[in-house]
Structure 1
Amino acid sequence: MTSPLDKAGSGAALHSRQTPTFLVESLKRTALDQLGGIVRGLIKPTELTLHEIELESPGTRRADQESLALIKQREAALVMRYRQLLADSFDQLLSQAGVAGQAKTALSLLSEEELDQHLDAQRIAATLRIRHARALLGAEARFATLARSLGVPDTKHPIDPERLAELLVKTLQGQTVPDGLRDLLFKQYQAELSHVLDAFYSQIDTLLGAAGYGLHVPGMAASRPVAAPAPAASSTEPMMWEQVAPRHGAPAAPAPASYAAPAVPAGSPYPPAAPAAGHAGAASAYAGVASEQLVRELGLLREQLHQWRQQAGITGHSTLPRAPGQEAPIPGAQRRPLRTDELRSVASLLQGEDTSHFAEALAHGGGHLQTALRNEMLEGARKLGLDPQYTSLSPEEQDAIDLIGLLFEAICDVHRLWEEGRNLLGRLVLPYLKLALHDDSLFVQPTHPARRLLDVLTEACESNRGASPHDRELLDRAQQAVERVIAEYQEDLSVFEMAASELNELVQQQRRRIELAERRAAEAAFGRERLMQARQDAADALSQCVREYKLTAPVRQFLSEHWQHHVVQTLLRDGADSARHIGAMNLGQALVEIDIAAASAQGAVIADRLLLLMPLLRDCLASSGLDASAADEAIARLVRALAWPDVPRSIVTPIAVAAPLEAAENDSALRLVDHAEQRQINQDALSAMRRLSLGDWVRLIDDEGFERALKIAWISPLTSRFLIVNRRGVRELVATAEQLALLAQAGRLIVGLPDAPFEGAMKQVWKHLQRAA
């Protein structure tokens, strides 16, 4: 197997390391290029967030806006300060080189504001370390090797999340930053770093590896496979995919030297295969694997895969089908496993051909893709003239076929991809199979370049029917990326990187449109809530005004229609404390009192009070859309009714108003909780839902079993309901904390940022293999 990049390190590399001074400068330039503009991206989003809060609650964030305006004036200076601090953190590596002990730092008391900033930085660092643990793994270990070679004291390195988080604290020193503004800035800083850290750590890892600072795996020999040591019984080191662990008591499988000499669990029907000519040999035993942990994970994955195949009854040496009229194979004839280069030639031959059967297999799931892929490869091998009597698929090649099949099916199982999205995914099956035959680190290396393309492609196609011009453009760009890989990929991984970057560029451009869609959805939901709340307040005001009084029909009609509508309008347009709303409320109370007086034949009092109410009456009728003539006629009806004490009177029956948003919501996800009102709500789940904040992500399992990544776009200041939108900013759900808690109890709602599609699919593959085993 050809090694894409020996991230495990080698003896030759250790003797040809790049000069540390030049290497540190190169790392510093990389950090400045990737991270130097982070501060510039903080101000605009924070400004928009404050503007939205100000629209909902005028005057509440005035101090934050003023402080942000001052920070914005000094934006250029702050960017330069951040870049200087970032550069200094690398320069300190050389200035501390050879120092035996770390210089003592003078201790001083921190102010409460400084303490809060450092606590915020620690929270950011903890979140980033967890979120980017896989990408950080190799880069951090290599950096530690560099630091030890320089004789630098064992301390935090410039690339550590803790150091990066502290950079913002130092950058903002001397600035007046209120607590609310600080929270927004730090949250945005975390988001900006999250967008770039995976790529940054991957580049650092690559630079250090190329410079000879490899990760030495103890006991690794260049001429023979070596079993990875079993983890200690007390180890708490997380496995490759969290929430998934090997079965209790199962021994750790030995890691393979290469796919030419796989690890064979006890009782497996697959005998060890001799190294094939198409492999690079045992010398590239750990090619493409960044650390011993990943080697172990690959071995465990393959062991589970072999057990799964044994349970499924899939034979170890699949043979080519005989053509019609061809003689049967000679009994006892030896079958030669196909060489990897032969199978890759088959994949290259078929790569540009029709792959609609792969898309159909993805639509059906349940292992159909693996079957279709085997049949396609075997038929392609026949076309190359390989003798079906003496040729078979080796277990190593079946590993690649099964893992690719399970991976692509898992992506379709978790993410809702319509027909066009499945077609695009099906087109990539053969290029990824060819890659897996060449580079097995695809399945265990979190920063593998080919993973990013599947991540971006899935995001672009998920729930995308191409209904809008923007969605159609996204699908067209996704197709271009797929066609580029099909046309250009041979063994160069940069093809995947370039295709992913081109597609991701459009995805990022559309994020601004998505943010706008989120704001519009929030504004629409808030408008509906305010309207329903105003109607409820007007209905309550009517009930309070009329009570049990018997009123004439014209007064009842006026209060129930024109006056109630007028109260709603004044609440929405002017506010509850406005003079216009107070006047409207006084008008209703006065009309009730006049009607009561009319029943007692107090004509003079009635006339005087009606004359005083004329401006309010006309304003009320105008807000209902009546012109001057219609308003005069309505007033005349009131006067005629109030002029006669014996006119029939009755009690007003206010019409009940539906609870806010209840009539507007009919989401299928809430049907589960519609009939569960009597179910006991778990208080821990309820507390977790109430802690959700703006911008948090949740994962919802819909009625068809698809997992949807959803975002909290707005929290109602009136009812505390959550507006939840999908990745495209389209409203998916409006629900209370109690309803979300019930969904969580039912296992249909998970709080937290969803995994990247590739990583999530590999988790599903691992679970599937463990269940079968």
Structure 2
Amino acid sequence: MAAQGASGRSDPLRVLEEVKRISVELLGAVPSGLFAPVEFTLHDSSQRGLSRPVELQALLKLRQQSAALVMRYRQQVAQGFDDFRSLRIRNRGDLPLSLVAENQLAFHLAGQQLADAIETRFAPALETMNARLDKLAEALQMQPGANPIGAGRLAGAFIETFRDAQMPNELQPLMFRAYEQELARVLGDLYTRVNQLLASAGFGTPVQGPRPLPPRDVQVARRDQEHDLVQEIRRPRAVDPRIAEQFAQLRTELHAWRQQLPGHAHAEALNALPRRELRGEELTSVVALLQPESPDVFVRALGGQPGQVAYAIREHLVDGARRLGHNPDHTRMSADQDDAIDLVGMLFESLFQSYALLDHARRLYGRLVMPYVKVALNDNALFVQREHPARKLLDAITEACEGNAAATPQDRELIERCAAISQRIVADYNEDLAVFGLAHAELEALLEQHRRRVELQEARAAKATFGRERLGEARTQADQVLHHLFAEPMTGPVGEFLAQPWRHHLVQTLLRDGAGSTRHSETLALGDALLDADRLARTGAEGRRLADRLLSLQDALTHCLASSGLDEEAAMQRLSELVRALALPDAPRDVPAAPAAVIDEEAATEDASLWLAGGTATVAHDPEVAARMRRLLPGEWLRLLDPAGQAVAVKVAWISPMTGRFLLVNRRGLRVLVASATELAALAQAGRLQVGAERAPTDEAIRHLRDRLTRAAA
């Protein structure tokens, strides 16, 4: 270590070089440790029937380039320190910002997720290190730069290292997962050593860092990591007894509903015939046969009457069983299999009834029907566990598709990605739920970007709505003042001036400066002064005083006219007309009529039943329901029937601090409705609004399913 200076600190350049040396030494071998865990995961998938020849071939090529990749990665780590010194990067977001090709977008999104994971996992150590590096930069007489071994920088190093590698989309999440695990193994020791080095060099107080992990057998450690990605999904999940009881109740209600169906007696008579029940593996084989076939029958059923999807599934399975040699005259489905089929059919129908899924989404969902039948036949947890991988994927797909008319490139990308994922599920799902987990992770990365756009859209909608409310309030206040001024007769030009440019100027002053401000008081004083000048002109006896009054008002009148968009020449012409009118004491004077209120055209185009000209006091509503509406909070989800009768999921995005009205937006962040608590109560009483909707689409669809069964059983 360099000698301490007078300040008690070591030479900052030498300290930075030592940090760089330690970092390159500990991080340099990370890329070479990625291939074995990923290869194990791919082979494990192959042994379970999920062949991955393309990914294995790509991994082999990457392994052959291992030396070059390690060197490139070490250069990226070292480059971080060079950038820190030369200040080429000035922000804490260390991921490189540039336009990327479409096929690289998922790669960069995965890198951002990786950075977030590292940042969360090592937050205390990184916070301490960032503060100490800032002090080091200060000692170097530089402004603070990005942490050269921070979370974003390490994610960026991985992206730059593998930027030109031929890596299939399915291989990317496995590589990122392995990289995250390798970093987790190294970073605890690295961050502790760097923090201790900076503290001992005088750039921060020493802290007790986390203890390094005890030495472990490297192969065993990596073998554990190799299982993480798949085993987390495959691990048996304990079902809460209460949830199991609810599922049993669901099946009871399903049986009661089935008894109400036409032809139920005939079906019971058929089941009473001596026919063998299909074994689980037999029906699974039938589903496997049908899974890759055209989904047209389900696409049509999704647009039909309730019960059509389950009917189509059952008919399709009977036909498939016949093709595999199972004569339907001698075989039948078991009660559990019938329940699974009905529940899947009702689940998909509920999704289309509960969410604004457009016609172009039907084929996508129709393609998923058979894979979800296979899931339900083997795993009842689909209907009771919110974290079930297949259920989470269906949530993500519905979030991406609801109300998505593919009107923008981003929306089209979501639809195309969902379509590709549905095709992959059909091709790859063979009773291994890891397929759903990987597909969900891929779509979730894209949805995160979509959600950030939605948040911006919501903020814009809230800002626009608040602006409209402030404008309406300012116009109301201006009209009240104008009504007071128009209580006495005045010349026509004075009345026109007050009703047009002065009224507009008063509204702008209220918006920009607020009531009670200096400019607001000056604007009100201008209106009173004009009336006083008109009174003087009416007498005709105080011409000198009138002239002085008009001269004193010239600047204020000019400024008032300018706020209406008039240039100097037009403003002077309008001012001259006003002066000429006041110079004539015998000019006719009348009490002017109040100008018509300005109509908010945007509000007028919305559903007329939601907007009441007489205010909300006349709305017929239940006070208790209105009180419940007033307790709504931003972020709560509701179900709304739009004027066309289409069910839409809406969220409370914002509550006006001025009027207390609620801004409701859809999943794309677009405004659906702005209404008061009493208007929402009236909608709820009319059956057009449901409070307390579930955020996850499958949760809401299953609740809708249960309501349907309960009503039928009752």
Opposite residue 583 of structure 1, the aligned amino acid is E
Instruction: State the Cα distance separating 1:762 from its structure 2 match.
Output: 2.3
Matched, 1:652 2:696: no
Instruction: State the Cα distance separating 1:317 from its structure 2 match.
Output: 7.4
CA distance 1:333–1:450, change in 2 (3 Å): closer
> What residue in structure 2 maps to residue 562 of structure 1?
501
CA distance 1:422–1:587, change in 2 (3 Å): same
> Which stretch of structure 1 is more off in the superposition, 573-582 or 671-680?
671-680
- Tell me if the contact between 1:319 and 1:388 (Cα under 8 Å) persists in the aligned partners: no
Q: Percent identity?
A: 46
Q: SS where residue 428 of structure 1 aligns? A: helix
CA distance 1:289–1:639, change in 2 (3 Å): closer
Matched, 1:626 2:563: no
Opposite residue 301 of structure 1, the aligned amino acid is L
Give the Cα separation in 2 of the matches to 1:733 and 1:208: 40
> What residue in structure 1 maps to residue 532 of structure 2?
593
Q: CA RMSD in A?
A: 3.4
Instruction: State the Cα distance separating 1:568 from its structure 2 match.
Output: 1.7
Instruction: State the Cα distance separating 1:289 from its structure 2 match.
Output: 6.1
Give the Cα separation in 2 of the matches to 1:671 and 1:604: 53
> Which stretch of structure 1 is more off in the superposition, 569-578 or 639-648?
569-578
Question: Which whole-Å deviations, capped at 9, do the CAs of 1:181-227 have from their partners, x for residues lacking one?
Answer: xxxxxxxxxxxxxxxxxxxxxx9xx98997xxxxxxxxxxxxxxxxx
Instruction: State the Cα distance separating 1:349 from its structure 2 match.
Output: 1.5
Question: Which whole-Å deviations, capped at 9, do the CAs of 1:27-82 have from their partners, x for residues lacking one?
Answer: xxxxxxxxxxxxxxxxx9xxxxxxxxxxxxxxxxxxxxxxxxxxxxxx99994399
TM-score, normalised via structure 1 length = 0.58
Instruction: State the Cα distance separating 1:673 from its structure 2 match.
Output: 12
Instruction: State the Cα distance separating 1:661 from its structure 2 match.
Output: 8.8
Matched, 1:516 2:560: no
CA distance 1:743–1:522, change in 2 (3 Å): same
> Which stretch of structure 1 is more off in the superposition, 588-597 or 618-627?
618-627
Instruction: State the Cα distance separating 1:467 from its structure 2 match.
Output: 1.4
Give the Cα separation in 2 of the matches to 1:656 and 1:357: 59
TM-score, normalised via structure 2 length = 0.63
Give the Cα separation in 1 of the matches to 2:243 and 2:611: 43
Q: SS where residue 649 of structure 2 aligns? A: strand
Matched, 1:752 2:692: yes
Opposite residue 632 of structure 2, the aligned amino acid is L
> What residue in structure 2 maps to residue 394 of structure 1?
334
> What residue in structure 1 maps to residue 709 of structure 2?
769
Question: Which whole-Å deviations, capped at 9, do the CAs of 1:332-378 have from their partners, x for residues lacking one?
Answer: 99533333222222211121221122122111131111111111112
Give the Cα separation in 2 of the matches to 1:659 and 1:461: 36
Instruction: State the Cα distance separating 1:707 from its structure 2 match.
Output: 4.2
Instruction: State the Cα distance separating 1:563 from its structure 2 match.
Output: 1.3
CA distance 1:427–1:674, change in 2 (3 Å): farther
> Which stretch of structure 1 is more off in the superposition, 378-387 or 600-609?
378-387
Matched, 1:500 2:544: no
Give the Cα separation in 1 of the matches to 2:419 and 2:233: 35
- Tell me if the contact between 2:233 and 2:433 (Cα under 8 Å) persists in the aligned partners: no
Give the Cα separation in 1 of the matches to 2:610 and 2:324: 56
Opposite residue 681 of structure 2, the aligned amino acid is A
CA distance 1:577–1:414, change in 2 (3 Å): same
Give the Cα separation in 2 of the matches to 1:616 and 1:676: 40
Opposite residue 654 of structure 1, the aligned amino acid is A
Give the Cα separation in 2 of the matches to 1:368 and 1:429: 13
Matched, 1:352 2:301: no
Give the Cα separation in 2 of the matches to 1:369 and 1:209: 29
Written as runs of structure 1 = structure 2, the 5 A alignment for 1:678-689 is 678=618, 680-689=620-629
CA distance 1:374–1:567, change in 2 (3 Å): same
Opposite residue 762 of structure 1, the aligned amino acid is I
- Tell me if the contact between 1:317 and 1:395 (Cα under 8 Å) persists in the aligned partners: no
Opposite residue 303 of structure 1, the aligned amino acid is T
> What residue in structure 2 maps to residue 339 of structure 1?
279
Instruction: State the Cα distance separating 1:638 from its structure 2 match.
Output: 1.6
Give the Cα separation in 2 of the matches to 1:353 and 1:672: 53
- Tell me if the contact between 2:340 and 2:373 (Cα under 8 Å) persists in the aligned partners: yes
| Aligned counterpart in structure 1 of residue 607 of structure 2, from 650, 667, 672 | 667
Written as runs of structure 1 = structure 2, the 5 A alignment for 1:205-244 is none
Instruction: State the Cα distance separating 1:388 from its structure 2 match.
Output: 4.3
| Aligned counterpart in structure 1 of residue 360 of structure 2, from 400, 417, 420 | 420
Instruction: State the Cα distance separating 1:659 from its structure 2 match.
Output: 8.2
CA distance 1:691–1:472, change in 2 (3 Å): same
Question: Which whole-Å deviations, capped at 9, do the CAs of 1:707-742 have from their partners, x for residues lacking one?
Answer: 433222222232222222122211111111221222
Opposite residue 744 of structure 1, the aligned amino acid is A
Number of residue pairs matched by the alignment: 493
> What residue in structure 2 maps to residue 80 of structure 1?
124
> What residue in structure 2 maps to residue 253 of structure 1?
none
Give the Cα separation in 2 of the matches to 1:608 and 1:718: 42
Question: Which whole-Å deviations, capped at 9, do the CAs of 1:670-720 have from their partners, x for residues lacking one?
Answer: 279999964553332222222333333333344565543322222223222
Instruction: State the Cα distance separating 1:616 from its structure 2 match.
Output: 0.9
Written as runs of structure 1 = structure 2, the 5 A alignment for 1:282-681 is 290-312=239-261, 313-314=263-264, 316=267, 334-547=274-487, 549-601=488-540, 602-657=542-597, 663-664=603-604, 666-667=606-607, 670=610, 678=618, 680-681=620-621
Instruction: State the Cα distance separating 1:609 from its structure 2 match.
Output: 0.7
Give the Cα separation in 2 of the matches to 1:632 and 1:673: 40
CA distance 1:375–1:208, change in 2 (3 Å): closer
Q: SS where residue 733 of structure 1 aligns? A: strand
- Tell me if the contact between 2:648 and 2:666 (Cα under 8 Å) persists in the aligned partners: yes
Opposite residue 574 of structure 1, the aligned amino acid is D
CA distance 1:567–1:685, change in 2 (3 Å): same
CA distance 1:471–1:639, change in 2 (3 Å): same
> What residue in structure 2 maps to residue 735 of structure 1?
675
> What residue in structure 2 maps to residue 87 of structure 1?
none
CA distance 1:770–1:643, change in 2 (3 Å): closer
CA distance 1:625–1:373, change in 2 (3 Å): same
Instruction: State the Cα distance separating 1:613 from its structure 2 match.
Output: 0.8
| Aligned counterpart in structure 2 of residue 699 of structure 1, from 639, 653, 665 | 639
CA distance 1:318–1:352, change in 2 (3 Å): farther
Question: Which whole-Å deviations, capped at 9, do the CAs of 1:417-465 have from their partners, x for residues lacking one?
Answer: 1112222111111001112222233223333221111111111111111
Opposite residue 525 of structure 2, the aligned amino acid is N
- Tell me if the contact between 2:513 and 2:519 (Cα under 8 Å) persists in the aligned partners: yes
Opposite residue 452 of structure 1, the aligned amino acid is K
Give the Cα separation in 1 of the matches to 2:370 and 2:292: 9
Give the Cα separation in 1 of the matches to 2:623 and 2:686: 14
Question: Which whole-Å deviations, capped at 9, do the CAs of 1:505-534 have from their partners, x for residues lacking one?
Answer: 211221111111011111111111222222
Instruction: State the Cα distance separating 1:668 from its structure 2 match.
Output: 6.2
Instruction: State the Cα distance separating 1:632 from its structure 2 match.
Output: 2.1
Give the Cα separation in 2 of the matches to 1:499 and 1:669: 43
Give the Cα separation in 1 of the matches to 2:580 and 2:342: 88
> Runs of 5+ in structure 2 lacking a partner?
1-91, 93-118, 129-227
Give the Cα separation in 1 of the matches to 2:250 and 2:648: 27
CA distance 1:288–1:309, change in 2 (3 Å): farther
- Tell me if the contact between 2:414 and 2:446 (Cα under 8 Å) persists in the aligned partners: yes
